[in-house]
Amino acid sequence: MAKGEESGEKSKLYVLKPLVEHWPAIKKPKGHVNFRQKILWTGICLIMYYVLTQVLLYGVSPETLDMFAGYRAIIAGASGSIMHLGIGPIVTGSIIMQLFVGAKIIKLDLQKSEDKALYQGVQKVVIMLMIIVEAIPQVFGYLSPSHSLINMLGGTGARAVIIAQLFMGGFIVFWMDELISKWGIGSGVSLFIAAGVSEAIITGTFNWFPQTSGAMSVTNPPAGTLPKTIYLISNMSLGDLVGGGFERIFISPPNPVIALIGTVVIFFGVVYAESSKVELPLTHARVRGARGRYPLRLMYASNIPVILMAALLANVNMFALIFWGRLSNFPILGHAWWLGKYAPGSTQPVAGLAWYLYSPRGLHTWLFPMIDSRYAGYLAGHAPWQMMLKILVYGIIFVIGAIFFGKFWIETTNMGPEAVARQIEGSGMQIPGFRRDPRILKKVLYRYIPALTILSSALVALLALFANLIGTVGSTSGTGVLLTVGIVIRLYEQIAKEQAMEMHPVLRKFLGVE
């Protein structure tokens, strides 16, 4: 416990309380929101998300560079649209607040309702600032204004127009996330990730349009895995298939068969992990014979730690790219190869810290280059042992970071031992064989929840790493597929839970909803 907390001193962050109290926000419902209304609000936000991804930014030059190209599945944004930033600012703002509170730079006790309310309010302000911070760099060579807009408004005015559109898109995403969290089902952040990745998977599997513009041919087959496979098998001779056709079908990007297999393996792996759980037996203290079970999932920390860690690495890549290109004269960090080196017109690092923290994207980016010299370009001039070192470094940092975020996430979402003990105690239940004492219940839960938090965070990070190494269809990362499967399963369970509470209102009191 911090010294200030022991003496009863409040955090200095309370100076922002007047701002937080008057900050525009979606109001919480005063009573119970019925199931149909929750489904309606969730569906409206989902439709709005898909519509906004098709609304292109006005006045952007065709020659653009997508700084988040490798992380589109994580930030749930569409390149060049009003949703260009996606959920990036929301997740980044959450990361900043977690790091500051975790490092005791901001001294708040999140077990106290007043401190927790201040934390959540300040986080909203930070998110608004992050929308601006992530929008401004986009207009300096990445989402450049078109010549017509510059001639109309001048360079500064043209950039301001694009920044305003990006801010508007980020602000709409933030409000839709709040709306779903308070009036809908689940989380807007998770829902938008699942929506974007699902669209990419379906497109990558079934897209029958050619890979590049022009007539469809053997050299320009359909882009989707299944149409591509059928077309090449139907239009290539046996000699062509043996002479490289099977390699194009099963291995070569885009959307080879091995990526589809990897996607299916990831799907069933996550489904199995999500279904594994430890159940604590419970009995009612007053109602004789009333029994129940409290499930503690193997994936107790859910997929949030991986979302936060992947978003953090996306920001590292973004700032490394900015320092390499647009801030090349910046002291120490400007154009420093050790921070991140990039080829002209590319957003993928080829050297430096950013290269070691950039996720592999399928077998063709790391395994095949070590076996076949035709894929050597993916090594970016590095030796095979350096690629193995990169995967090792990336894996260790990714897993450790996910564990850190997982532990903090559990404490800030009332899923820690103390919060769960209070929830069970308030429902009138107890663990059979133990006295009905919150301290004893908390002690029992301490045997399971901290270990499950670490194990689940590490497991979901390892699954994400495996998914990235294998590769997936739809130009989306393995991390995105893993997150989507987990999100869809949780969403289904939350819908079932809401339906059950709608049919049996007494469950709302037991589950702490009312």
Instruction: Using DSSP bridges, classify how beta strands 277-284 and 429-430 pair: parallel, antiparallel or unpaired.
Output: antiparallel
Tell me how far apart the alpha carbons of residues 128 and 126 are, in angstroms, rounded to a whole number: 5
pLDDT tens figures, 429-472: 777 766 667 778 888 888 888 999 999 999 989 988 988 888 88
Query: Which of 161, 137, 138, 135 has the alpha carbon at shortest distance from 148?
Result: 161
Tell me how far apart the alpha carbons of residues 163 and 491 are, in angstroms, rounded to a whole number: 34
Tell me how far apart the alpha carbons of residues 370 and 252 are, in angstroms, rounded to a whole number: 15
- Is the domain covering 35-207 a CATH 1.10.3370.10 domain? yes
Q: How does residue 338 score in pLDDT terms, banded at 50, 70 and 90?
A: very high
- pLDDT of amino acid 514: 52
CA torsion angle for 242, 243, 245, 251 (degrees, to 10)?
100
Q: How does residue 58 score in pLDDT terms, banded at 50, 70 and 90?
A: very high
pLDDT tens figures, 95-129: 888 878 877 778 887 777 788 888 888 999 999 99
Place of tokens 């077998």: 363
- pLDDT of amino acid 3: 42
- pLDDT of amino acid 272: 86
Q: How does residue 6 score in pLDDT terms, banded at 50, 70 and 90?
A: very low
- pLDDT of amino acid 5: 42
Q: Vertex 224, ends 189 and 74: CA angle to 5°?
A: 20
More confident residue, 180 or 512: 180
CA torsion angle for 438, 111, 398, 187 (degrees, to 10)?
100
Tell me how far apart the alpha carbons of residues 456 and 269 are, in angstroms, rounded to a whole number: 14
Report the interhelical angle of 88-102 vs 384-412 (nearest 10°): 80
Instruction: Report the DSSP beta bridge partners of residue 280.
Output: 294
Cβ atoms within 10 Å of 355's Cβ, excluding its own? 23
Task: State both tokens at 50.
Answer: 């898909």
Q: How does residue 85 score in pLDDT terms, banded at 50, 70 and 90?
A: very high
Task: State both tokens at 177.
Answer: 């996330």
Tell me how far apart the alpha carbons of residues 133 and 264 are, in angstroms, rounded to a whole number: 38
Q: How does residue 1 score in pLDDT terms, banded at 50, 70 and 90?
A: very low
In the predicted structure, residue 4 carries a pLDDT above the cut 50: no
Mean pLDDT across the chain = 85
Task: With residue 21 as reference, give the H or E element that holds it.
Answer: helix 17-21
pLDDT tens figures, 14-31: 888 888 888 888 888 887
> Which pTM value belongs to this model?
0.79
Query: Does residue 254 have a cis peptide bond before it, meaning omega lies within 30 degrees of 0?
Result: yes
Mean pLDDT of 487-506: 80
More confident residue, 497 or 90: 90
Mean pLDDT of 174-183: 92
Task: State both tokens at 206.
Answer: 């079934």
In the predicted structure, residue 46 carries a pLDDT above the cut 80: yes
Tell me how far apart the alpha carbons of residues 357 and 398 are, in angstroms, rounded to a whole number: 9
pLDDT tens figures, 376-409: 888 888 999 999 999 999 999 999 999 999 988 8
Asked whether this chain's domains 35-207 and 259-514 adopt the same fold, the reply is yes
Report the interhelical angle of 257-275 vs 478-503 (nearest 10°): 40
Place of tokens 């001039």: 381
pLDDT tens figures, 138-153: 887 788 899 999 999 9
In the predicted structure, residue 316 carries a pLDDT above the cut 60: yes
Q: What is the DSSP secondary-structure string of 285-343?
A: SSSTT-EEEEEEETTTTTTHHHHHHHHHHHHHHHHHHHHHHTTTTSTTTTT-TTT-EE-
Alpha-carbon Rg for the chain in angstroms: 25
Tell me how far apart the alpha carbons of residues 251 and 37 are, in angstroms, rounded to a whole number: 47
- pLDDT of amino acid 504: 66
Task: State both tokens at 480.
Answer: 């995105």
- pLDDT of amino acid 290: 61
Query: Which of 445, 410, 490 has the alpha carbon at shortest distance from 282?
Result: 445
- pLDDT of amino acid 139: 87
CATH number of 259-514, picked from 3.10.20.440, 1.10.3370.10, 2.40.50.140, 1.20.140.10: 1.10.3370.10
Mean pLDDT of 3-12: 56
At residue 20, what is the residue type? V
- pLDDT of amino acid 7: 43
What is the percent of the chain where pLDDT is above 90? 33
Domain limits, the chain: 35-207, 208-254, 259-514
Tell me how far apart the alpha carbons of residues 416 and 413 are, in angstroms, rounded to a whole number: 8
Is 222 within 8 Å of 209 (Cβ atoms)?
Answer: yes
In the predicted structure, residue 2 carries a pLDDT above the cut 70: no
Alpha helices (H) in 103-146, listed in sequence order: 113-135
Tell me how far apart the alpha carbons of residues 472 and 73 are, in angstroms, rounded to a whole number: 11
pLDDT tens figures, 210-242: 988 888 988 899 999 999 999 999 999 888 888
Place of tokens 């938008």: 192
